[in-house]
Amino acid sequence: MLGLAFAGSPSRLASGVRIAGVDVGGKTPHQARSILERRADALASVPVTFRVGARTWRLEPRHLGIRVDWRAAVDAVRRQGNGFGPLRGFRRLDLRFFGADVAPPTQVDDAALQAKLDEIAAAVNVSHREASIVLHGLRPQIVPSRTGHVLDRHAAAATIVRALSGLTREPVGLPIQLDQPKINAGDLRVVQAEVRTALSAHLHLTLGATRWNLRPPRIARLLELPADGRRDLRIGGSGASNWFSALAKRVDRSPVDADWAVGKSGIRVIPDHPGYVLDVPFEQHRHTVEVNYLGTVHGTLSALRYMEHAGEGVIIQIGSALVYRSIPLQSAYCASKAAIRGFTDSLRCELIHARSRVKVCMLQLPAVNTPQFEVVRTRLPRHPMPVPPIFQPEMAARAALHLARHPRREMWVGWPAARAIFAQKFIGGLLDRYLSKAGWEAQMDERPIDARARHDNLYQPLPGDRGAQGPFGAQARPASLAFFARLHAGKMAALGTAAAVALALWQWKSRTA
């Protein structure tokens, strides 16, 4: 009975219903549409004032191509209060007590809207400022951070469209988001002390009989102070580059081979002279670590987001024996590989704690015949090469595929990789001495190169596809017995068991014969 009492006429809209803030309850759909269209026509040239702080913008619907479908809005309201007898009554009872305000379907010129949002954002956006350190003379001072504010474009777009399609013209405030800095003054106190220490005294450098005395003002020009979101103290920038370039011109000296000459007094020997080359600039170390380590971190976290959404996955980090045992001439590369292992171990623990089904594995490879030695930056007098024994990259690909199908924490590929890792654990000191003598020649073949004229991919890729294999195919091995045994551990165990049983039977028969 209650449903029938409130059912009303199906030809009229339910009481308590509003469209764009206008009460259309009890009206026929035609009457409601006429009321809404007349109100909209009357307000078509009346602007809405949008405000952000003291700044205001006055916009009319035509400025953004606003077109409102009042017919569709009325039809939506009619469907809300429609239905068979008692059902319609209960629906309308709900609308009578709780009400409903329907936003009409609206079309907008998106290009015009985005242009207006750009204009507003340009006027109101104030970017945050990270805390930084500047020098006043030789005294490091911290410039405090500052919170900024930016227009919330998504919410502002919805607010503007809703206001211009509505039937009121009250001023409207646009939403703003705070833009918080990541580095504050307190984060730089330790670095400020480091700068103060660095500039507190002269620095003395020595090369043979040559001495350099760097006064604090000179040291200050070599420092790259924390700024733009960085919180570490570095040696870098144009001042450091210029100084190291000038130093290299004074220090670098090409080697002179021993020779002989014929003079009046006979044949005399011209002794050889060793050469000097200034060590690798700090910027190259930093760039190598950023690309190798931070690039791996970025790629891993990007893949992890998709795998966590899918509920499973396997991430394989490609490492090498150099993760455990660093070698000379590759300090930055070895450091980045060791950092990747530390990141991987930490991430694996976090995933286990979160009961994630994503697996993180690491593949430790031996020396592989890849084209990287054709494009790597080097200062060696002869062409660089991987430390033998060398394996073809197809073996590494098979190992990665096996690990993807059978995930495990870590997999060592080939006996040379395992041998280097074990040796580092037990005779690390002896390895240091061995590599100090053999580590140079082992990383060069017989081809001379001009390191200064050589093109490399340290800062940008080189054109062309070099394929998977490098130039050491004649020396590279296609497979490893140790790796084969690891891939077929079950079969090898069965074969070994069968061999042991056969040997035992043979010995038993020999005794009983």
Tell me: the pLDDT tens digits for 39-72? 888 888 899 999 998 899 999 999 999 898 888 8
Q: Is residue 262 part of a domain?
A: no
339 and 192, same structural domain?
Answer: no
pLDDT in tens, 179-190: 999 999 999 999
Dmax (CA) for the chain in angstroms is 135
Domain CATH code at residue 451: 3.40.50.720
- Give the residue from 160, 180, 200 where a domain finishes: 180
The DSSP output letter for 204 is E
Residue 206 confidence class, pLDDT cut points 50, 70, 90: confident
Q: What percent of the chain lies above the pLDDT cut of 90?
A: 30
> Does the pLDDT at position 84 exceed 50?
no
In three-state secondary structure terms, 286 is helix
Are 304 and 388 in the same domain? yes
User: Cβ of 48: how many Cβ atoms within 10 Å?
Assistant: 19
In a domain, 271, yes or no: no
Is 276 a domain residue? no
What is the chain's mean pLDDT, rounded?
81
Assess if residue 269 is contained within a domain. no
Does residue 115 form part of some domain? yes
Tokens of 441: 């020649």
Is the domain of 325 the same as that of 445? yes
Residue 264 located in a structural domain: no
HSE, side-chain direction, 13 A CA sphere, residue 345: 8
Domain count, the chain: 4
Task: For residue range 433-478, list pLDDT tens digits in order.
Answer: 888 888 888 888 888 887 666 788 887 888 888 888 888 888 888 8
Residue 138: CB atoms within 10 A of its CB come to 15
307 plus 354 within the same structural domain: yes
Q: How far is CA 255 from CA 113, 273, 276, 289, 491, in A?
A: 68, 6, 8, 31, 57
- Per-residue pLDDT band for 280 (boundaries 50, 70, 90) equals low
Domain shared by 211 and 125, yes or no: no
In a domain, 270, yes or no: no
Residues 360 and 447 in one domain: yes
pLDDT in tens, 103-112: 788 889 989 9
Q: Is the pLDDT of residue 319 over 70?
A: yes
Give me the DSSP letters along 108-150.
--HHHHHHHHHHHHHHH-B--B--EEEEETTEEEEEPPB-EEE
Residues spanned by the domain of 339: 283-479
Distance CA 73, CA 57 (A): 28
Q: Check whether 6 has a pLDDT greater than 50.
A: no
At 284-317, the pLDDT tens digits run 778 888 888 999 999 999 999 889 888 899 999 9
Q: What mean pLDDT comes out for the span 347-364?
A: 93
